[in-house]
Amino acid sequence: MSYYDQVKEAADAVKSRVRDAPQIAVILGSGLGDFASGLDEAVAMRYEELPHWPASRVVGHEGRLVVGTKRGKWIAALAGRVHAYEGHDLQTVTFAVRVLGFLGVKTLILTNAAGGVNTGFAAGALMVIDDHINLMGGNPLVGANDDRFGPRFPDMTEVYTPRLRKIADEAGRAIHFVLPHGVYVALLGPSYETPAEIRYLRTIGADAVGMSTVPEALVARHMGLDVLGISCISNMAAGVLPKPLDHAEVMETTRRVRGEFIALLEGIIGRL
């Protein structure tokens, strides 16, 4: 079965279980999955229940798709994602985004937990992604292009839709939460970066660093979706503070800001 047919089969399986097709989707990063539990009229599906859908195996990534309503809009919320560092190729990593496009999603909100490279940030900040740098060593669009997904050479001048970034700012102001903007850089992982690598990333213009999001954004734009990216600065990157990095700190920080994070998402959705 072709990749296209696998995506279509998974999308058909989701459609058969939900009342209405979502036009907005949110992919929830490490420790940020609580938003999915707050949807109304919700139908939840484990990734393992859906054909060809890769299972999430990382702590903090629950591994379920929830379709429901929020602020009168039908939403698809993915509590968890898969990563290239788990051994998946980038077509597998972005399978969910392809399915979302087939479901009729027009707006994709990508969230992640990221390390703060910009020394002006503090753990717990929510950063709007203005642009990204791909240092993962791969691109999910490599290989034969299927024109049914999108064009051979998609433009990436504005990966993260300016209109959506302005909406995020408005939603932040409404809850008295200042949202810094910045550049997100994606590396393969799973090891955290060295202090020397962080100094290099800061030099080339990075404000936050993580191990996801960029492949999803590329595929979403390939399919013509509007994209908004939000990073939760869950820890300061290596060498910024005199202490080692620990995934437990990532989970603790995302737990601490989940109230503001959910309020921000709801405010954004209400303005779409």
The confidence band for 231, taking pLDDT boundaries of 50, 70 and 90, is very high
Q: Please, where are the H alpha helices in 183-257?
A: 195-203, 214-222, 247-256
* Total number of domains in the chain: 1
pLDDT at 30 over 80: no
Q: Do residues 238 and 202 make contact, with C-beta atoms less than 8 angstroms apart?
A: no
Q: What angle do CA 20, 26, 29 make, to 5 degrees?
A: 145
Task: Please give the structure tokens belonging to residue 267.
Answer: 């405010």
SS3 of residue 116 by DSSP: strand
- In this structure, what CATH number is given to the domain that contains residue 255? 3.40.50.1580
227: three-class secondary structure by DSSP: strand
Residue 112 scores a pLDDT above 90: yes
Q: Can you name the residues that pair with 79 across neighbouring β-strands?
A: 28, 64
Average pLDDT over residues 17-45: 89
How sure is the predictor about 207, in pLDDT bands with cuts at 50, 70 and 90? very high
pLDDT of amino acid 239: 52
Cα separation of 131 and 205, whole Å?
Answer: 10
Reply yes or no on whether the pLDDT at 95 is more than 80.
Answer: yes
What domain range includes position 94? Answer: 3-271
Q: What is the pLDDT of residues 232-262, one digit of tens each?
A: 998 776 556 656 666 676 777 777 788 899 9
Whether cis (ω within 30° of 0) applies to the bond prior to 51 is no
The mean of the pLDDT values for the chain is 92
pLDDT tier for residue 176 given thresholds of 50, 70 and 90: very high
